[in-house]
Amino acid sequence: MRLFVAVRLSDEMREALLSAQNALFDRGVRGNFTPEENLHLTLAFIGDYPDAGPVLDTLEKVAFRPFALTLEGLGCFGDLWWAGLRGSAPLEALARRVRRALAEAEIPFDRKRFSPHVTLIRRAAGKLPGTELPPASMTVGSFSLMRSDRGRHGMIYTELGTRKAEPAAE
């Protein structure tokens, strides 16, 4: 099983990202556009792991309060183009806690530095324009353990479990 831990995005956020993808397409950008239902923010990539049970038990120990997430800017890693998120201490803290919990449970994960992004296009061909992202924010009230399978027409992501935030502080 190929596993990763992610924040699933609100409908509003995914719609904003879809309209950014459409704007890029209209400007002639081509590539492998992430389908709207697959848009997500990865907190930790576990990769091949035999059993979701211990991972879910570990994620259950990660407590956090709801916090705001706001889109900010387009960027790229080579030909992978992404939407960025406004710098957020609670987001950084959540990723750190998830990763620390996985490490303590000796569940391996990709140790590359957390670099919050939502992948919009893989193998993008074109020049990254200065397109603005439509403004969009959401409250992160949970994160999920996801399984990734290669389907006939692209990746299929399945939620295996969710860890909800503690009630917001008064």
Catalytic residues: 40, 117
CB of 18 to ligand 2AM, least distance (A): 16
Residue whose CB is less far from ligand 2AM, 65 or 79: 79
CB of 46 to ligand 2AM, least distance (A): 9
Task: Count Cβ neighbours within 10 Å for each residue of 52-88 and write b for 16 or more, e otherwise.
Answer: beebeebbeebebeebebebbebeeeeebbbbbbeeb
Q: Which residues bind ligand 2AM (CB under 6 A)?
A: 4, 42, 45, 80, 110, 119, 148
> By the 8 A CB rule, do 57 and 21 touch?
no
**How many residues are listed for the chain in this entry?**
170
Angle at 56 between CA 150 and CA 90, to 5 degrees: 95
Residue whose CB is less far from ligand 2AM, 56 or 156: 156
Residue whose CB is less far from ligand 2AM, 21 or 148: 148
Query: Which residues, in sequence order, are CB contacts of 107 under 8 Å at separation 6+?
Result: 46, 49, 54, 55, 58
